[in-house]
């Protein structure tokens, strides 16, 4: 999961402006919370099919939407979520350590009508729902995935 999030951060960094070297990219990723070595960064550059030009690294042509896909939400919830609890229109989902962010990203990507937004820590996700009923529906749905 960390690879997917890290590679998304690489792509976002390149979309924000020129990145002239691996060291520059490494510093930009560190600011985003990713500590990567040169070998890992080289693999990411190869996996993402990035090119090095005179101005720095560039995205592949014709693939502006290139981004590593997250596994399906159901799979991530089933593999990493441990518990779900409701509190009014909020849900708290406990995950195994280090897994909250990919699970929250997958929930966000689904664009579920019951989800206004998510906030993820290391092992906890806060999901904001429009109202209590939507929170109950989503809690039931996530609970079924856990069983």
**Same domain for 140 and 90:** yes
In-domain check, residue 65: no
- The verdict on residue 90 lying in a domain is yes
> Same domain, yes or no, for 110 and 141?
yes
pLDDT at 65: 45
Whether the CB-CB separation of 29 and 7 falls below 8 Å is answered with: no
Q: Give which of 2, 72, 76 is closest to 44, Cα–Cα.
A: 2
Closest CA to 92 of 128, 122, 116, 117: 128
Please give the pLDDT value at position 111: 87
CB 122 within 8 A of CB 1: no
Q: What's the pLDDT tens digit per position in 38-61?
A: 988 998 888 888 888 888 888 876
Residue 29 inside a domain? The answer is: yes
Residue 125 and residue 81 in one domain: yes
Range of the domain at 105: 73-146
Residues in CB range of 56: below 8 A, 6 or more apart: 18, 19, 20, 21, 24
């Amino acid at each position: 999961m960390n690879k997917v999030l890290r590679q998304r951060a690489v792509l976002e960094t390149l979309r924000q402006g020129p990145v002239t070297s691996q060291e520059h990219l490494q510093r930009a990723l560190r600011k985003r919370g990713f500590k990567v070595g040169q070998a890992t960064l080289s693999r990411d550059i190869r996996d993402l099919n990035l090119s090095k030009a005179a101005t720095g690294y560039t995205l592949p042509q014709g693939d502006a939407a290139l981004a590593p896909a997250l596994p399906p939400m159901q799979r991530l919830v089933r593999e990493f979520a441990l518990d779900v609890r409701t509190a009014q229109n909020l849900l708290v989902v406990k995950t195994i350590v280090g897994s909250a962010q990919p699970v929250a990203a997958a929930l966000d990507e689904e664009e579920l009508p019951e989800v206004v937004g998510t906030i993820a820590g290391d092992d906890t996700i806060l999901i904001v729902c429009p109202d209590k009923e939507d929170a109950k529906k989503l809690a039931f749905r996530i609970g079924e995935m856990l069983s």
